[in-house]
C-alpha cells in the first residue's frame, strides 16, 4: 500500500489532523497547546482572508502570469500562488511570534521552533487554510475558522490527555485567586511519564485519528441505512 494513495483516500479531517504532527512535540501542557492553537487559527484565517481578497482584486478570469485561465492554472500560475501563500503565511507567523514574545515570553520559549514552523506546517495543512480561489472573504474566513477549530481542538485534546495522564495536572492561565494549575491527586502520584515524550504524542495522535475515522465510518454507514429505511 502506497502512503500517498492511502492518504488521498483519507477524509480531509484525518488529513488535517495529520498536520498536527510537528505541533504535538510541544503539546505537553494545555496552556502551551492553547497558545499554539491560537497562532494556528490566526495564521490559517488571516492567510485565507488575505488570499481571498487578493484573488478578488483581480478581475475574474484574468491570468496571474499570462497563463490562460480557461486552460486551468499553469505551472507558473501555481508557483506564483504557492509563493504568495508562503509570503502571507510566513509574515503572519512572524507577527504571531512577535505578539507571543511580548505577551507571554515563557510560552514563546516553551514553543521554541514550533511557533515559526506554523508558517510551513499550515501550508501543508491546506496551503495556509482552504484554497480561497473564487471564495468571498467571508466564506474563506468561516471555512478557515472551521478548519482552525478542528486543528486547535485536536491539539488541545492531545495536550490534555498527555498532561492529565502524564503529569496529573492541567496547566491553564493564572488569574486572580487561581494559580493556573489544577492538580489531579491520584494521577499526580503515579503519572504515565512516557506520554510526556515525543512518542507519547504520536501514540495519542494515532489513536485520535483512528477514533475520528471510526466516527466518520459510522456516520457514512448510517446515512445509507437511513436512506433505505425511508
Partner 1 sequence: MSWAAVVFTFALVDNVILSRLLGLETGDGARGGTRSVWLGGSIAVLMSVSAVAAWTLDSLLLVPLGLTMLRTPLLVFVVAGIALGFQALAARFLPAVLERSGVSIPRVGVNCVVLGLVLITTRAEYGALQSFLAGLAAGAGYLLASAMMGAIRERLEIEAVPPVLRGVPLQLITAGLMAYAFMAFDRGFLARLLGA
Using CB under 8 A, which of the segments 62-70, 136-144, 173-181, 198-206 binds partner 1? 198-206
Say whether residue 210 binds partner 1 (CB under 8 A).
Answer: yes
Output the DSSP codes for 138-187: HHHHHHHHHHHHHHHHHHHHHHHHHHHHHHSEEE---BTTB-SEEE-HHH
The contact pattern for partner 1, residues 127-146, with x = CB under 8 A and - = no contact, is --------------------
3-state secondary structure of 175: strand
Is the separation of the CB atoms in 211 and 161 below 8 Å? no
Q: Where are the beta strands (DSSP E) in the chain?
A: 169-171, 181-183
CA atoms within 13 A of residue 34's CA, in its CB half-sphere: 10
Least distance to partner 1 from the beta carbon of 112, Å?
Answer: 8
Least distance to partner 1 from the beta carbon of 23, Å?
Answer: 8
The contact pattern for partner 1, residues 60-99, with x = CB under 8 A and - = no contact, is -------------------x--xx--xx-xxx-xx--xx-
3-state secondary structure of 197: coil
When the beta carbons of 124 and 138 are compared against partner 1, the nearer one is 124
How many beta carbons lie within 10 A of that of residue 222, not counting itself?
10
Residues at the interface with partner 1 (CB under 8 A): 1, 3-4, 6-7, 10, 14, 18-22, 24-25, 79, 82-83, 86-87, 89-91, 93-94, 97-98, 112-113, 116-117, 119-121, 123-125, 194, 197-203, 205-207, 209-211, 213-214, 217
Amino acid at each position: 500500500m502506497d502512503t500517498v494513495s492511502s492518504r488521498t483516500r483519507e477524509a480531509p479531517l484525518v488529513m488535517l489532523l495529520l498536520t498536527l504532527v510537528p505541533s504535538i512535540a510541544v503539546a505537553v501542557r494545555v496552556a502551551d497547546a492553547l497558545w499554539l492553537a491560537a497562532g494556528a487559527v490566526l495564521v490559517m484565517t488571516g492567510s485565507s482572508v488575505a488570499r481571498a481578497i487578493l484573488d478578488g482584486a483581480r478581475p475574474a478570469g484574468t491570468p496571474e502570469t499570462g497563463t490562460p485561465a480557461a486552460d486551468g492554472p499553469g505551472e507558473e500560475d501555481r508557483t506564483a500562488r504557492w509563493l504568495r501563500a508562503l509570503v502571507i503565511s510566513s509574515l503572519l507567523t512572524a507577527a504571531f511570534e512577535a505578539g507571543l514574545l511580548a505577551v507571554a515570553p515563557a510560552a514563546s520559549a516553551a514553543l521554541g521552533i514550533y511557533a515559526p514552523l506554523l508558517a510551513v506546517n499550515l501550508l501543508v495543512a491546506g496551503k495556509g487554510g482552504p484554497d480561497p480561489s473564487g471564495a468571498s472573504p467571508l466564506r474563506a474566513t468561516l471555512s478557515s475558522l472551521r478548519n482552525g477549530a478542528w486543528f486547535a481542538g485536536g491539539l488541545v485534546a492531545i495536550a490534555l490527555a498527555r498532561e492529565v495522564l502524564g503529569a496529573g495536572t492541567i496547566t491553564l492561565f493564572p488569574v486572580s485567586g487561581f494559580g493556573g494549575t489544577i492538580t489531579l491527586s491520584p494521577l499526580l502520584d503515579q503519572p504515565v511519564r512516557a506520554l510526556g515524550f515525543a512518542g507519547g504524542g504520536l501514540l495519542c495522535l494515532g489513536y485520535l485519528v483512528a477514533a475520528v475515522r471510526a466516527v466518520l465510518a459510522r456516520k457514512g454507514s448510517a446515512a445509507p441505512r437511513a436512506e433505505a429505511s425511508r
